[in-house]
């Protein structure tokens, strides 16, 4: 894909995984949070992520799909891992559940912690991008597995 930086493509080639990565991304909105969440991916228990569906509206590839591969970078934008999407569900934020919060593996893994942290994040996004956050907004609830490095 031409929208991927050369270092992401080189990193992906080094993994020996077949195919082409869908994207190059980090979890979170600060270098510190990206590093913290990457550590949860590399060493468990983070096996899910959630984004507002609005971010995929103009994506030529559409919503994530099972089988999609993503190169994940750290807070310095260095590629560090590859994840493979295993399932995707689109529904309003208000329909999130405790199992998804647990699978996302952040904080104390409770639904209450998950909702507070994600709403704070989405409110920061809304302020930066000029929209109003609401629990009625559709979100993409994505589960994944660590494809590389193996055995994470």
| Position 65 in a domain | yes
| Position 19 in a domain | yes
| Position 117 in a domain | no
| Position 17 in a domain | yes
Strands lying side by side in the sheet with 138-148: 23-25, 69-73, 79-92, 138-148, 48-52
| Position 12 in a domain | yes
- Specify the number of domains making up the chain: 1
Task: Please give the structure tokens belonging to residue 141.
Answer: 């609830």
Task: Please give the structure tokens belonging to residue 121.
Answer: 């994040």
Instruction: Give residue-wise pLDDT tens across range 66-97.
Output: 999 999 999 999 999 999 999 999 999 999 99
Residue 38 belongs to domain spanning: 6-93+138-147
Task: Please give the structure tokens belonging to residue 151.
Answer: 């055995």
Q: Are the CB atoms for 29 and 124 separated by under 8 Å? A: yes
CATH code (residue 23): 3.10.400.10
Percent of the chain scoring above 90 in pLDDT: 95
| Position 101 in a domain | no
| Position 127 in a domain | no
User: Is the overall model pTM greater than 0.75, yes or no?
Assistant: yes
In the predicted structure, residue 41 carries a pLDDT above the cut 60? yes
């Amino acid at each position: 894909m031409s929208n991927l930086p050369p270092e992401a493509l080189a990193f992906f080639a080094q993994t020996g995984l077949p195919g082409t990565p869908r994207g190059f991304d980090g979890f979170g909105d600060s270098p510190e949070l990206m590093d913290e969440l990457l550590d949860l991916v590399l060493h468990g228990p983070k096996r899910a992520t959630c984004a507002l569906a609005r971010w995929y509206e103009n994506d030529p590839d559409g919503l994530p799909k099972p089988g999609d591969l993503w190169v994940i970078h750290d807070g310095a934008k260095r590629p560090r891992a590859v994840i493979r999407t295993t399932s995707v569900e689109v529904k309003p934020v208000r329909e999130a559940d405790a199992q998804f919060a647990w699978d996302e593996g952040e904080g104390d893994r409770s639904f209450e912690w998950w909702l507070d942290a994600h709403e704070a994040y989405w409110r920061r996004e809304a302020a930066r991008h000029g929209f109003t956050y609401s629990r009625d907004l559709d979100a993409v609830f994505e589960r994944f597995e660590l494809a590389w490095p193996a055995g994470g």
